[in-house]
Structure 1
Amino acid sequence: MRQRYLALLSVFASLPAMALTFQTRLESIEWTVEGDKFECRLTQPVTDFGSGQFVRRAGEQAIFRLNAYNAMMGGGSATLLAAAAPWQPGRGDINLGTVRIGSGNVLFNSSQAQAGRLISGLIDGRSPVVRHSSGDGRVSEVRLLPVRFNKAFADYQGCVAKLLPQNFDQVKQSQVGFPGGGIDLDGPAKARLQVMLEYMKADPTVNRIELDGHSDNSGNRLTNRDLSRRRALAVMEFFKANGIQESQITLRFHGERYPLAPNTSNINRAKNRRVAIRLERGAPAEQVAPQATKPTASATS
């Protein structure tokens, strides 16, 4: 291991003479893991610069983020590399493409594919490197080192295992269908609602639900409106049975008025038999003034 450390110290001898490199001294390198049900972060601080950070939100793969105390790199683009370790001769750097450098504290967010290859590289002893060339020929680099990575990555994977199935952007709008034409929730519908319910229970600021029931045009207008109402009520009853209060739910029903697809085939009509669900953020439940026990309901014909 000592030989690897010494080799790392000489890694910059081949860099251009004008290169400015930011990295943490070997004896000071640390990886930290933080997170909750919504997001996990695996971070290496970079001395005098900021940090390199893998961020994985619920329902997504990780991205790599470069954070800076100041706008040290300027604008433009930079090259992202999985750089070979100096103790592994004959292995070249892997060019992962370019990233666009911003002007704030977060200089860039990589793609998920780039982050995945950086993680694989770290496991294999490679270093994530961000290389930026200015217009006057100056080169600056930020380098993370793989020292102590494997232990931290195991902790990070433990955090990832506890993430929710989806994040708020993914779960805030959804819909359930009634392909058979009735009013009962089928297995896929219940599974989709369960994901939304799980998120609401984890995030108390998401405590409002809007339900909009719809039908196809198979019946007359009054029948279709009633079907759309009963479908929305079926979804409401699911949430109520799982601890959501009626006062948190707004219910509307529209009959055949807003089709997703023209009612010209059985497939299209099945698409139109649905309830759209939208989750909203509000004040925590204990701060909300008491409301009527019945859901707000409105109908449009």
Structure 2
Amino acid sequence: MRQCYLILFGIFASLPAMAMTFQTRLENIEWKVEGDKFECRLIQPITDFGSGAFVRRAGEQAVFRLNAYNSVLGEGAATLLAAAAPWQPGRGDIDLGTVRIGRGQVLFNSSQAQAGRLFRGLLEGRSPLVRHYSSTGGLSEVRLLPVKFRQAYSDYEACTTKLLAKNFEQVRQSQIGFPGGGIELDIKARFTLQVMLDYLKADPTVNHLILEGYSDNSGNRLTNRELSRRRAMAVMSYFKENGLQESQMTLRFHGEQYPLAPNNSAANRAKNRRVSVRLERVPEPERAAPPAPAKSSGTVS
């Protein structure tokens, strides 16, 4: 009997592990385009799995994201491919490198370079394919199909033209330089402030700014302190002229304190002549609840 068990075990051990493939039936393929000024998404739902999506945030290039209803793939490294379609005989798959499968609903975000190559592959009729081997050797594949892709890609591209120049992480703190030594905003400074202003107007949750003026150490301390104040005031004036309220801004000035670089060269002194602008989300004060109406002891018929 023991020999029988050993023989059976050897037979099953020699069988290939089960392979699972997730993809939507051809006739059910759809691409969805979603987005606003902050992010654009090009999504293909995947039956019984989740979705694959190209996600482009303001100020960045797109990444490819795999979303799942559950962690059926398991954690670990997987291979990302721009695979030839079954109806393209003779074309090989293009290996785009590895991605790391994690926990949660978002299994991974590809690199921007990988997403760019997937875009090119889809336009050529290729399929984004994620191939994952489990620790026991089981193979799982998730495939998107290029059906109906071109029109959806055109709609996605139209969405990206409306994105802001930068996202919150990119604009939340900026240095406005005064390389010439005065208090006037130059073209570069105005461009940076306009990018911040565009974000402020698009995101009402960002409702406060902290402006901090600085100088180099060329003059005496009192002169430098006044210069730093006037530079901060110049930035405040720009925002006020473009619709922001003074109550939304906190102004500070530090003179030659806290230099970015040692004041030992003309280039370093130019770096220190600046205004730091920081955007913040400040919760609105809670409004007092209106008094409850007085109860009536009479009846109305």
Partner AA of 1:209 in structure 2? L
What does 1:161-240 correspond to in 2, within 5 Å?
161-240=161-240
Runs of 4+ in structure 1 over 4 Å off? none
Aligned residue number for residue 114 of structure 2: 114
Q: 2: distance between equivalents of 1:20 and 1:227?
A: 68
List per-residue Cα deviations over 1:133-177 (Å, max 9, x = no partner): 011110000000000000100100010010000011101110111
List per-residue Cα deviations over 1:171-201 (Å, max 9, x = no partner): 1110111111000100100000000000000
Equivalent pairs counted in the alignment come to 272
Aligned residue number for residue 35 of structure 2: 35
Q: 2: distance between equivalents of 1:167 and 1:146?
A: 30
Q: How far apart are residue 205 of structure 1 and its match?
A: 0.7
Q: How far apart are residue 86 of structure 1 and its match?
A: 2.4
Q: 2: distance between equivalents of 1:133 and 1:17?
A: 10
What does 1:229-268 correspond to in 2, within 5 Å?
229-268=229-268
Aligned residue number for residue 89 of structure 1: 89
Q: Secondary structure at the match of 2:130?
A: strand
Q: Secondary structure at the match of 2:174?
A: strand
Q: How far apart are residue 88 of structure 1 and its match?
A: 2.3
Aligned residue number for residue 61 of structure 1: 61
List per-residue Cα deviations over 1:228-278 (Å, max 9, x = no partner): 000000000000000000000000000001111100011110000000000
Q: 2: distance between equivalents of 1:80 and 1:34?
A: 24
The answer to whether the Cα contact below 8 Å between 2:211 and 2:250 also exists between their aligned partners in 1 is yes
Q: 2: distance between equivalents of 1:231 and 1:82?
A: 53
Q: How far apart are residue 21 of structure 1 and its match?
A: 0.1
TM-score (norm 1): 0.88
Q: Secondary structure at the match of 1:206?
A: coil
Q: How far apart are residue 59 of structure 1 and its match?
A: 0.5
Aligned residue number for residue 293 of structure 1: none
Partner AA of 1:211 in structure 2? L
Q: How far apart are residue 288 of structure 1 and its match?
A: 7.9
Q: Secondary structure at the match of 2:89?
A: coil
TM-score (norm 2): 0.88
Q: Secondary structure at the match of 1:227?
A: helix
Are 1:152 and 2:139 matched, yes or no? no
Aligned residue number for residue 77 of structure 2: 77
Compared with structure 1, are the counterparts of its residues 153 and 77 closer, same or farther at alpha carbon in structure 2 (3 Å cutoff)?
A: same
Partner AA of 1:58 in structure 2? A
Partner AA of 2:30 in structure 1? E
Q: 2: distance between equivalents of 1:148 and 1:128?
A: 14
Q: 2: distance between equivalents of 1:159 and 1:72?
A: 32
* Amino-acid identity (%): 74
The answer to whether the Cα contact below 8 Å between 2:179 and 2:270 also exists between their aligned partners in 1 is yes
Aligned residue number for residue 45 of structure 1: 45
Q: Over the residues paired in the alignment, what is the CA RMSD in angstroms?
A: 1.2
Structure 1 unaligned regions, length at least 5: 1-15, 290-301
Q: 1: distance between equivalents of 2:92 and 2:58?
A: 34
Partner AA of 1:272 in structure 2? N
Structure 2 unaligned regions, length at least 5: 1-15, 288-301
Q: Secondary structure at the match of 2:269?
A: helix
Partner AA of 1:234 in structure 2? A
Q: 1: distance between equivalents of 2:122 and 2:271?
A: 46
Q: How far apart are residue 103 of structure 1 and its match?
A: 0.9
Return the index of the structure with the highest Cα Rg.
2
Q: How far apart are residue 91 of structure 1 and its match?
A: 1.4
Q: How far apart are residue 85 of structure 1 and its match?
A: 1.7
